[in-house]
Amino acid sequence: MQDAITNIVNRYDVKGSYLDKFAVDQLSSYFKTGLLRIKVIQLINSKASFIVKEASAQLYSEQPELLRPGGNSYTTRRYAACLRDLEYYLRYASYAIIAGDTNVLNERVLDGLRDTYNSLSVPIAPTVRGIQLLKEVILQELSNENIEAEFFIVEPFSYMCRALSEQNISR
């Protein structure tokens, strides 16, 4: 797993050049948000169960057919698997937030997901909506704590939604 710093340094190392103003500005921006990123991760860690529970409650309220016979969350086992997946998305988004880089999402979550979801006949639209709801719950919790960090919270969740939406994972 690489972070913003490693990615920037590696890019310039491959070119065999010194860091220019653009690279230094990127590094400076990352370091300026370091303490805020830590606060956000602390909030996510301390409220992870609540965040997943709230996002899933909203998802099932919006799409109750998921819980009915034939729905992808019907049966206790499938419901638990959906909650587990939401927790995975939340955890890996938190890694991307602290790293300041979305590459971890490709390495650990998105690569291979198409095959897995196709083999399990998992519909993508509710998954994408669940990820969006995770983001919305976090933003609300941050607002409740008077923590303004939307600019880097949105990125990993939007990245996952965009990447999943671009793939034709549905049946």
User: CA 126 → CA 41, 55, 58, 59, 171, distances in Å?
Assistant: 25, 11, 11, 8, 13
Rounded CA separation 96/147 (Å): 18
CA-CA distance, 155 to 171, in Å (whole number)? 28
| Cα 40 to Cα 46: distance, rounded to the nearest angstrom | 10
72 is known to lie in a ligand binding site: yes
Q: Is 144 annotated as a binding residue?
A: no
The verdict on whether residue 77 carries a ligand-binding annotation is yes
Q: Which residue positions form the known binding site for (2R,3E)-phycocyanobilin?
A: 72, 77, 82
Binding residues: 72, 77, 82
